[in-house]
Amino acid sequence: MSQDTLLDLSRWQWALTAAMHITFPAVTVGTSVFLVVCYAMYMRTDDDVWLRMFRFWRRIFGIGFALGVVSGIVLTFEFGLNWGRFAHDVGPIIGVIIAMEVVSAFFLEAGFLGLLVYGEGRISKRMMMFSTCMVSLGTTLSVTWILVANSWMQTPAGYKRVHGQFQPVNWVHVIFNPSFGIRFVHMFIGVLIAASWFIAGISAWYFLKNRHLPIARRGISIALGVLAVVLPLQGYIGDNVAGYVQKYKPAEYQAMEGNWDSHNTGYNLLVIPNQGAAKNIWQVTVPWLGSAVNKDYSGHTPFPGLKRTPKNLRPMMIPTFYGFHVMWFAYVLMLSFAIVGLILRLTGRLYNTRSFHKLLVGVVPIGIIAIWGGWVVAETGRQPWIVYGKLLTAQAVSPLKPAAVLTSLIAFMLIYLTLLGTYVWYVARVVRQGPEEGPVTEPAIEPVRGPVPSFVPSPEGGAA
């Protein structure tokens, strides 16, 4: 009993802290690419609108990055704190991969962020451009290594077991494990999408308020342009990810489509499963569509059901099914909105359709929600395994007192709730303050003993 409680509490703590962490990179990775675009355009055109955009988005990027750093440190320690047995067993592989993430990506981001945020007036434009690129490269490399590590847990390869410990035999097979490539592309496009809705929504708000229109036009145009290209691409990639799940993790595939028996040729939109009795209490199914999803348009190919997996090795259907469907329904919505945006653009109405601007403001977090959903499928669909098919989560947990984990879980809940509230409040405040009014120029470079400049448009009424 106590062992189950400990496992559940430890898993909830991981789920909470990981979901909070992913929220920030979901926005900052794409925003860093956007900052590169803004500064590159500024250097090319010398148009100060780009510089003001750069400075404005840099502030929003900065706080997201800081929160990403502190919430990331928490995860680094939790690998050992809550999952000590896992730390011991996979350290020679996962520890090494994340160590590579730290030295190649994390340091790079943090090292150049100081220059990016505080460097104006001390470094040249070229150096500023370089720093921005390095921060962006760092965030991208970070996604890469994290996806290597997590994909290895989904499809372990290139190792041998020695006294229970996973030891690398072939690093190429470890890194380029069967699911890494497709899952990396999927996640990278996912963060570009999330950041694009974020940028589009904030830009749209300025249209509604009739403020900072030059900046809002460029923001919305770039963001919706990116979305029009990458959303269809993500559909194709996502289909391939489902293909890997079907091939390598059949139990997850059975659970995420919401079937117990293997004769449903329809497609489940909503289910209320009873895990113990291995059946759905209630379900909404579209006939024929399930077979079509499996590329059989005659309507005779059913989905495989979860009863094919032994009872003690079945993932929970509720989080697996709904994680997947939240992502999938969000995708359908996002694709529709992007198409509407494209039509408005082609008919020259993108900048003056207020209802569409209102919609964009309303869907700011939609990309983040889709990413949360995707990770819920990946993590709960892999259960009861922590390393798929090889190491059970129940064997990986640290032997702590459940009361200790409960205490830390409650505290993390309160802290992260405050953190999320603060983040939203902060971004809203920066958005209300808005970018600086033009025209602006960069300060002259004063390399030694220059004060560290700050580009916050003097808050609290200017007098400071």
Restricting to residues 56-95, which ones interact with another protein according to CB under 8 A? 62-63, 65-67, 69-74, 76-77, 79-82, 84-85, 87-93, 95
Smallest gap from Cβ 248 to another protein, in A, equals 24
Q: Is 115 in the site for another protein (CB under 8 A)?
A: yes
**Site map (CB under 8 A) of another protein, residues 428-457, x = contact:** -x------x---xx-x---xxxxxxxxxxx
* Main-chain dihedrals φ then ψ at residue 44, nearest 5 degrees: -70, -45
Among 14, 42, 112, 337, binds another protein (CB under 8 A): 112
Token pair 């709960």 in the structure block, residue: 380
Whichever of 68 and 290 has its CB closer to another protein, that residue is 68
Q: Is 46 in the site for another protein (CB under 8 A)?
A: no
Smallest gap from Cβ 401 to another protein, in A, equals 5
Q: Is 122 in the site for another protein (CB under 8 A)?
A: yes
* Residue 279: other Cβ atoms inside 10 A: 14
**Helix (H, G, I), strand (E, B), or coil: what is residue 385?**
strand
Whichever of 281 and 464 has its CB closer to another protein, that residue is 464
Whichever of 72 and 266 has its CB closer to another protein, that residue is 72
42: Cβ contacts below 8 Å, ≥ 6 apart: 48, 50, 51, 54
Site for another protein in 314-353 (CB under 8 A): none
Q: Is 287 in the site for another protein (CB under 8 A)?
A: no
Token pair 């070229």 in the structure block, residue: 126
Whichever of 310 and 462 has its CB closer to another protein, that residue is 462
- The three state secondary structure string of 10-67 is HHHHHHHHHHHHHHHHHHHHHHHHHHHHHHHHHHHHCCHHHHHHHHHHHHHHHHHHHH
Among 12, 118, 288, 351, binds another protein (CB under 8 A): 118
Q: Is 426 in the site for another protein (CB under 8 A)?
A: yes
167 - beta bridge partners?
160
Percentages (nearest 5) of helix, strand, coil residues in the chain: 70, 5, 25
Whichever of 232 and 450 has its CB closer to another protein, that residue is 450
Among 27, 35, 117, 256, binds another protein (CB under 8 A): 117
Site for another protein in 140-169 (CB under 8 A): 162, 164-165, 167-169
Q: How far apart are CA 464 and CA 430, in angstroms?
A: 18
How many of the chain's residues bind another protein (CB under 8 A)? Answer: 89
Q: Is 424 in the site for another protein (CB under 8 A)?
A: no
**b/e per residue, 30-56, with b = 16+ CB within 10 A?**
bbbbbbbbbbebbeeeeebbbbbbbbb
* Residue 134: other Cβ atoms inside 10 A: 19
Smallest gap from Cβ 47 to another protein, in A, equals 16
Whichever of 336 and 418 has its CB closer to another protein, that residue is 418
Site for another protein in 167-206 (CB under 8 A): 167-169, 171
**Cis peptide bond prior to 447, omega within 30° of 0:** no
Spatial contact of 459 and 433, defined as CB atoms under 8 Å apart? yes
- Cα–Cα distances in Å, from 359 out to 231, 334, 353, 366? 18, 11, 10, 11
Bridging pattern class, strands 385-387 and 391-392: antiparallel
Smallest gap from Cβ 391 to another protein, in A, equals 13
Whichever of 352 and 418 has its CB closer to another protein, that residue is 418
Q: Is 362 in the site for another protein (CB under 8 A)?
A: no
Site for another protein in 265-284 (CB under 8 A): none
Q: Is 18 in the site for another protein (CB under 8 A)?
A: no
Q: How far apart are CA 356 and CA 366, in angstroms?
A: 15
Whichever of 94 and 370 has its CB closer to another protein, that residue is 94
Smallest gap from Cβ 414 to another protein, in A, equals 10
Smallest gap from Cβ 130 to another protein, in A, equals 10
Site for another protein in 390-409 (CB under 8 A): 398-401, 404, 408
